Amino acid sequence: MARLRILVLGSTGSIGTQTLDLVRLDPGHFEVVGLSAHGSADALLTQVQEFQPRYVALADESQASGLEDQLPSTTTLFRGPDANLEMIEASTFDLAVHGIVGAAGLRPSVAVLKTGARLALANKESLVLGGELLLDLARRMGTVIIPVDSEHCAVHQCLRGEDPSTIRQVILTASGGPFRGKSREELRTVTREQALQHPTWDMGQRITIGSATLMNKALEIIELHHLFGLPAEKIQVAVHPQSVVHSMVEFVDGSVMAQMGPPDMRGPIHFALHYPDRAPAPAQKGFSLELFSNLTFEAPDRGSFPALDMGYECVSQGGTSGAVLNASDEVAVGAFLEGRIPFHAMGELCAEALAARTESSIDVESLLAADGWARKFTEDRIQTKYSGPNAARL
Ligand code: MG
């Protein structure tokens, strides 16, 4: 059987390295055609030496010259801000695993789908910004978006062979993050270090902070809405601290299907790499009494964690609202990690940005313009509120 030709976008990040871990275990199944990174030239070079891809892309121009000299003669380098797009266009591939972080992932998602290849999508921002656009494009090209987000992968699996019109509701599970049970007042004094301690999942920094604010879940509400065409009223969030039930679907007959497993992103990545087949993964653990003996569910505290309401609001508003929420959160999380704003300010800044602007257009240019606007708006608000002479006390 011919090997599956894959691109790994964002190959030095959390999703990218775990993807390559799985590829390494099953080398006869995959051919790595291309790898890309933002600026981690050294890590990328190590991957190139191991996987010998035909193409490699590095977005940060300043890191590119050092890399170019050391590449094997059979590997072509694309460099600069459009490097991913150029690599996607040049490559012949069956599947792209897209683990780029942030709104910068939107154009690569569009580019992959335009080739007709399958898109294994971990970059949730693509869907948060341009879900409508991407789903429409996938339909027109006769291809599919395979979600590489544990919750959405779970829903995808629960829906195999089911008629989507028979969904009563989807229950999106949330770990609740490190601050589950804390009051609004207590959240005013939590630190960056506390926020970065995720109880169950090992993930990138932005998602980890997003789990502490529940903004990650808000973005996942929007993602779920687009992927499966669900209205806001069919999306529930349940806090499930053990992160074993990755999400559930309740059907019109009252039956509830859940997809379960240890909290390990290699599960959803493996599923996406082999979709539509179910392939053996001997190293992946499944059921164990230790893990499954105490599964609990509770309602989220929407007062302490206002992000959830913003997710629902974006589902109702549509247009550029997802782009605005995502961009504002990216800037706010960056400022929080730099110690410039307190924890609770992240939600406040996002709410201000959402209230200030939404447009109905959903073409790539409008979405990215809204993204740019929200970044500037949020940064300006941070300057005014937290760095100026009248700055609020941290
Ligand atoms: Mg998730």
pLDDT score at 198 = 75
- What tens digit of pLDDT does each residue of 127-174 get? 999 999 999 999 999 999 999 999 999 999 999 999 999 999 999 999
pTM for this model (two decimals) = 0.94
Does residue 59 carry a pLDDT above 60?
yes
22-25 LR contacts (CB < 8 Å, sep 24+): 22/266, 22/269, 22/270, 22/273, 22/281, 23/51, 23/273, 24/50, 25/283
Q: How far is the CA of 390 from the centre of ligand 1 (A)?
A: 38
Distance, C-alpha 31 to centroid of its chain: 24
Specify the number of domains making up the chain: 2
Does residue 306 carry a pLDDT above 90?
yes
Residue-range definition of the domain harbouring residue 226: 153-262+286-386
359 and 317 within one domain: yes
Q: How far is the CA of 227 from the centre of ligand 1 (A)?
A: 14
Q: How far is the CA of 389 from the centre of ligand 1 (A)?
A: 39
Contacts of 243 (CB under 8 A, 6+ apart): 173, 175, 200, 201, 263
Q: How far is the CA of 177 from the centre of ligand 1 (A)?
A: 12
Contacts of 207 (CB under 8 A, 6+ apart): 201, 216
Residue 280 lies in a domain: no
pLDDT score at 358 = 78
Residue 173 lies in a domain: yes
224 and 184 within one domain: yes
pLDDT score at 1 = 75
Does residue 338 carry a pLDDT above 90?
yes
Averaged pLDDT of the chain:
95
75 and 218 within one domain: no
Q: Which two tokens mark 156?
A: 């995808």
Three-state DSSP state, 280: coil
371 and 325 within one domain: yes
pLDDT score at 392 = 58
Measured CA to CA in angstroms, residue 298 lies from 175, 178, 385 at distances of 10, 15, 35
366 and 227 within one domain: yes
Of 128, 147, 166, the residue at which a domain comes to its end is 147
The domain that holds 120 is classified in CATH as 3.40.50.720
Report the C-alpha gap between 283 and 201 in whole angstroms: 18
Q: How far is the CA of 383 from the centre of ligand 1 (A)?
A: 31
Q: How far is the CA of 78 from the centre of ligand 1 (A)?
A: 31
Residue 226 lies in a domain: yes
73 and 117 within one domain: yes
Q: How far is the CA of 174 from the centre of ligand 1 (A)?
A: 8
Q: How far is the CA of 154 from the centre of ligand 1 (A)?
A: 10
Of 118, 147, 176, the residue at which a domain comes to its end is 147
Of 108, 129, 147, the residue at which a domain comes to its end is 147
pLDDT score at 202 = 65
Report the C-alpha gap between 326 and 337 in whole angstroms: 16
Q: How far is the CA of 112 from the centre of ligand 1 (A)?
A: 22
159 and 140 within one domain: no
pLDDT score at 119 = 98
Q: How far is the CA of 66 from the centre of ligand 1 (A)?
A: 35
209 and 98 within one domain: no
Average of pLDDT values for 325-349? 96
195 and 58 within one domain: no
> Which residue has tokens 């919750």?
151
Q: How far is the CA of 393 from the centre of ligand 1 (A)?
A: 33
